[in-house]
Amino acid sequence: MRKLLIVLLVAAVLVGADFAAARVFESKVATALERKYQLGTRPIVQVRDFPFLPHLLTGRFSALDLAATNARARGLDLDRVEVQLRGVRVPRTVLFGGHGLVRVDQVEGQVELSQAQINRLLAGRLSGGQVTIEANSVRLRVGTEVFGRLVDAVVTGRLGVRDGRLAFRPQSVQVGGVGDPALETTLVSRFTFDVPLPRLPADIQVERVDTEPGAVVLAGGAARLEVAA
């Protein structure tokens, strides 16, 4: 019985040490990522490898997850950020409290933008109009001049991505609450546009755009990433 208690005690100490070391490492990575991408809020970083200490000794980790809410990136307000880092290599200098370059083989992630942020992002193309984000579509309410007269139009379409830019593609147009074929061609062309996106956390290159009520989710990845720690 005494031997069993000693074994259990040693195991508990090792697990505790493993847990404590992982939290210290996660804190250091969180600080480095917050600083590099100027998130304006401290992200949560979680190591997926367990036990942690053997990976600490080799400086190689299969996966790290990052999450943050109410963050910022190059002027964008991000309601939510989720990033998965795969194939992470950390130099020994960083592992022992110094500085160095953390390298990541692959990045996958997504960011969520509120309807208010999308309105600010597209403001230059809407001339005072408003954007409403729905589950599978986007609706623009705009006032615009067509054939010499001012009309109020509702342009319904979808958001996508084109060459790394956020793109709006109209699908239908209503003027005065009804479809107008004569105006539709003109307005569809006028409100087909794309806008540049600022640099996103972890250098995510947007590959997919999803919409849900009141929000837009930008998802994508990056081949490689380097972060000074």
- Give the Cα separation of 202 and 104 in Å (integer): 10
Q: Is the pTM of this model over 0.85?
A: no
The residues that bridge with 160 in the sheet, in sequence order, are 167
> Where in the chain are the domains?
2-113+222-228, 115-216
- pLDDT tens for residues 72-98? 887 889 999 999 999 988 887 766 667
Predicted confidence at residue 225, as pLDDT, reads 79
CA dihedral 109, 112, 117, 118 (to 10 degrees): 80
Mean pLDDT across 125-137? 87
Instruction: For residue 138, give the 3-state DSSP assignment.
Output: strand
Phi/psi of residue 51, each to 5°?
A: -70, 155
Q: Can you read off the two tokens belonging to residue 3? A: 């031997």
Lowest mean pLDDT among 18-27, 50-59, 98-107: 18-27
Confirm if 228 and 29 have CB atoms less than 8 A apart: no
Predicted confidence at residue 22, as pLDDT, reads 62
Sequence-distant (6+) residues with CB within 8 A of 122 are 131, 168, 195
Lowest mean pLDDT among 53-67, 138-152, 176-190, 203-217: 176-190
Sequence-distant (6+) residues with CB within 8 A of 69 are 41, 79, 80, 81
Q: Residue 10 pLDDT more than 60?
A: no
Confirm if 144 and 187 have CB atoms less than 8 A apart: yes
Mean pLDDT over each residue of the chain, to the nearest integer: 80
- pLDDT tens for residues 151-210? 788 889 999 999 889 999 998 888 866 566 767 777 788 888 899 988 888 888 999 999
Predicted confidence at residue 81, as pLDDT, reads 92
Query: Percent of the chain at pLDDT above 90?
Result: 29
Predicted confidence at residue 179, as pLDDT, reads 60
